[in-house]
A and B are shown apart, each in its own frame.
Chain A
Amino acid sequence: MKFLDYAPAPESKALLGLKSDYGLFINGAFIAGRGTPFQTINPATEQQIAMIATANEADVDAAVSAARHAYDGVWSRLSGSDRGKYLFRIARLVQERARELAVAETLDNGKPIKETRDVDIPLVAAWFFYYAGWADKLDHAGVGPSPASLGVAAQVIPWNFPLMMLAWKIAPALAAGNTVVLKPAETTSLTALLFAEILQQADLPAGVVNIITGDGSTGATLVNHPGVNKVAFTGSTSVGRSVARSIAGTDKKLSLELGGKGANIVFDDAPIDQAVEGIVRGIFFNQGHVCCAGSRLLVQESIHDDVIDRLKRRMQTLRLGDPLDKNTDIGAINSAEQLARIRELSDLGEQEGAERWSADCEIPPNGFWFSPTIFTNVSTSHRIARDEIFGPVLSVLTFRTPAEAVAKANNTPYGLSAGIWSDKGSRILAVADKLRAGVVWANTFNQFDPSSPFGGYKESGYGREGGRHGLAAYLKPAVRSGSRSIAAANQQTSSVSKKTASVGKKSASAEKAAK
């Protein structure tokens, strides 16, 4: 055994009772999909876990119909407190089955069990618990008195935090009184289907939540379905653009949570050891498959060498390997496709002249793996400083003054996250003010909480998830009678619907774009 080798400590799979085939969850029951089923694999071993159904157009239509029926017949008529009780039930059931969900998530996604066990699944439960309490308090959501739900929400989520993204989407939608059709990512459908079993245990009325699986075309069919009132998408900026194009001209309300290239800024007065922990958490958490990852390290020139030395030393202690092992820090890359993209961009980084350094990790024989890697001597024009890599790859840049740090941090079309490391409170406040990012972490990184709104500026998308603002994304103001004087506005300040008088028009060009 080498220095820092640990004996294997794998989490048991015995508590899993997985099926060999999973259908679609529509109208409260599992049914066979009419598309071609596909296999979901464990990215750490490339072994098949189960076969997953594909929803074709007719299945999408059935799911939207079920959601509409449940909205009209049951969910929109239920009291807020009863909706809340269902959500509280779901939160508790998630807690009860937390370990099972954590193991399943780790198997299907490849992320370390310590993350699914301590971050993903606890946040899933917390998200449902938080929004459960909102369901009977919608007057305080910030959209005026007696706000209305939107109807059927189409939700398409990514593979990096499968069950957590599901919770971020479903909990506020249901609390606000909407019904849901959710499509998980192709490579990570498993926990969404286990969650469907939880909904059955919770006795949630049929059709309130429908889960359909498949690839991107299933998602596109869902988003473009005319029976949908709200679209919530989390994923890449390029797909986000096409979603925004496809809803143009419709009355669908849209929230987009897209890519990022977060700057993690370390000032010379920062507590360096803590900053190094934060850098590691910022880019190597979840193998860097994090839209808000701190993938650009901006370090003040005077401490650059010290920070990089300590960072490399810390990276050498990261354990890459079996995601089910409780000591594992770096799990498997989620798919062969993603691994290829990480390799491609990293190779490009070398070609463009940046200096590559990777932690010395033993790569398992099967599965998809990438050693934690940093690039130094990166300049702002390099592709690895501009493109989202979505892997455990950090680009290091330097700065001399706070103004330069802010300028470099904001020099990106993205605007999702940023970090600041400094012991000086006044500097943190001033820099946080100037960063064009939706979430700023000061002396911490990658913290999430259901009460804390999350979402981007610029091309990182629009709309917020989490907190009161995340609830408002699933509500619309009550329609007010049309008085146009200031006096009337004073009485109903925040209750004007911009849609009230909107022109309902969907031209041929919109139909075109939807294709």
Chain B
Amino acid sequence: MNRLVISKTYKLYIGGKFPRSESGRVYEVLSHTGDFLANAAKGSRKDARDAVVAARSALGGWAGATAYNRGQVLYRIAELLEGRRNQFVDEIMNCEGVNAAVASAQVDEAIDRWVWYAGWADKYVQVAGNANPVSGPFFNTSVPEPTGVVAIIAPQGTESLLGLVSAIAPALVAGNTVVVVANEHAPLSAISLGEVLATSDVPGGVVNIVTGSPAEIAPWLATHADVNALDLVGAGNLDWVELQISAADTLKRVLPPEAGADAALPALNRILAFTELKTVWHTKAIL
């Protein structure tokens, strides 16, 4: 192999675009053997706030899309992930130091989880909603709706792609938009996932990916008044109690950290954690 390879510039993914950090900062991403892999953007407070603005602007369209449409868009992501399988396997092998079989298994599981969650988009309302038999001449139903903008600290463990997918897919199902802080030491598959999202049919701003230091960025998201929910799944090594206390000021919905390979297991509860239940009473005429 004599050909000199073209290496990729890894940037942030905000509002459907790939900007560098406004701070101009980067940090080195190293392989498991300590070799230089890339300079990743070191996201700042301003980047996080830009990401929240993008997520808020995208919310109406994504939440307002039909459930069938959201399901198809999410499924489309799985299709494109499948097509880029080898790229993700390579990045995972480089970054995480696992062999091809282990890396492949991770990518397979990540793709399968997308498909699993995609299928929920037009079903979770039926499973989690209700008709309520109230005492009176009323038609009364309860229906879950998206909470809004969800900030996520992605799992920081060994399975960078699977952890990221497991955290963002459930939040997207109901129509929330997402700002996610990627795995700090293995951010490459996060940015590559951003490229998948950019070329699938996900509207810009629905998913925003910030690379950098979760310890630096998370407090700005926890206190941001335009963030409705905070998923601390990957915040176990941060001062996450302080983050939860900050989130209480705007009464954000908070999910606690989870550790190990079982973090963010696929579950309907993860979808419902980012929903609000709306109950509507309709008056019936007296005939």
**Contact surface of A with B, Cβ cutoff 8 Å:** 126, 142-143, 237, 240-242, 244-245, 248-249, 256, 258, 413, 415, 428, 432, 435-444, 447, 449, 451-455, 457-459, 461-462, 464, 467-469, 477, 482, 484-486, 489-490, 493-503, 505-507, 509-510, 513
Contact = CB atoms under 8 A, between A and B. Distances in A.
Nearest to B255: A498
Given A503-B256, A505-B241, A451 B134 contact: yes
A512 B226 CA distance: 26
Given A452-B132, A469-B277, A241 B255 contact: no
Given A453-B132, A489-B266, 19 more contacts: A143-B269, A241-B248, A249-B240, A249-B245, A256-B251, A413-B250, A441-B281, A442-B280, A452-B132, A452-B142, A454-B279, A458-B228, A469-B130, A486-B266, A489-B267, A494-B267, A507-B241, A509-B245, A510-B244
Interface string B269-287: 1100100111111110000
Q: A-B pairs with the 10 shortest C-beta distances?
A: A249-B241, A496-B267, A244-B248, A248-B244, A449-B134, A443-B283, A489-B266, A510-B241, A245-B248, A501-B262
Given A457-B276, A458-B251, A464-B277, A482 B134 contact: no
A444 B138 contact: yes
Interface stretch (B17-25, B108-116, B180-188): B108-116
Interface of B: 109, 112-113, 115-116, 127-128, 130, 132-136, 138, 140, 142, 147, 228, 236, 239-242, 244-245, 247-251, 253, 255-263, 265-270, 273, 276-283
B268 A493 contact: yes
B116 A486 contact: yes
21 contacts: A248-B248, A256-B251, A436-B276, A439-B279, A452-B281, A453-B130, A457-B147, A457-B276, A462-B251, A467-B142, A485-B112, A486-B116, A489-B265, A494-B268, A496-B266, A498-B269, A502-B259, A505-B241, A506-B241, A509-B239, A509-B245
A14 B253 CA distance: 49
A143 B244 CA distance: 25
A461 B147 CA distance: 12
Given A438-B276, A458-B228, A496-B265, A467 B132 contact: yes
A449 B277 contact: no
Contacts of B247: 244
Contacts of B128: 142
B281 A438 contact: no
Nearest to A499: B256
A442 B245 contact: no
A29 B233 CA distance: 44
B278 A437 contact: yes
B269 to A, nearest CB: 6
B142 A484 contact: no
A364 to B, nearest CB: 34
A451 B133 contact: yes
Contact of B242 (A444, A489, A498, A507): A507
B277 A498 contact: no
Contact of B269 (A126, A496, A506): A496
Contact of B262 (A432, A454, A469, A500): A500
A462 B253 contact: yes
B261 A484 contact: yes
B281 A444 contact: yes
B249 A501 contact: no
A77 B61 CA distance: 50
B253 A468 contact: no
A496 B264 CA distance: 9
Interface residues of B, dominant DSSP = mixed
B277 A452 contact: no
Contacts of B249: 241, 245
B125 to A, nearest CB: 12
Q: Select the residue from A442, A452, A467, A497 with max chain B CB neighbours within 10 A.
A: A452
Nearest to A487: B112
A461 B251 contact: yes
A415 B255 CA distance: 21
Given A438-B277, A484-B265, A500-B262, A451 B113 contact: no
A255 to B, nearest CB: 12
Given A498-B273, A502-B257, A447 B279 contact: no
Contact of A248 (B132, B241, B263): B241
Contact of A444 (B115, B135, B236, B283): B283
Nearest to B261: A484
Contact of B136 (A256, A447, A477, A485): A447
A489 B116 contact: yes
Given A462-B251, A467-B132, A428 B241 contact: no
Nearest to A278: B283
A501 B241 contact: no
A442 B282 contact: yes
Residue of A143, A237, A244, A507 with most partner-chain B CB within 10 A:
A244
Which of B147, B240, B245: most chain A CB closer than 10 A?
B245
A106 B51 CA distance: 52
A435 B280 CA distance: 10
Contacts of B116: 486, 489-490
B279 to A, nearest CB: 5
A462 B277 CA distance: 9
A419 to B, nearest CB: 9
A245 B265 CA distance: 27
A505 B241 CA distance: 8
A440 B242 contact: no
A126 B133 CA distance: 13
A415 B257 CA distance: 27
Contacts of B265: 482, 484, 489, 496
A486 to B, nearest CB: 5
B59 to A, nearest CB: 11
B281 A248 contact: no
B179 to A, nearest CB: 18
A464 B244 CA distance: 21
Contacts of B269: 143, 477, 494, 496-498
Given A244-B251, A245-B245, A496-B265, A442 B283 contact: yes
A253 to B, nearest CB: 11
A501 B109 CA distance: 19
B140 to A, nearest CB: 5
Given A447-B136, A477-B269, A482 B256 contact: no
Nearest to B162: A484
Contacts of A249: 240-241, 244-245
A441 B253 CA distance: 25
Given A500-B262, A502-B256, A432 B280 contact: yes
B279 A507 contact: no
A290 to B, nearest CB: 15
A509 B238 CA distance: 12
A249 B250 CA distance: 17
A510 B245 contact: yes
A459 B248 CA distance: 10
A237 B262 contact: no
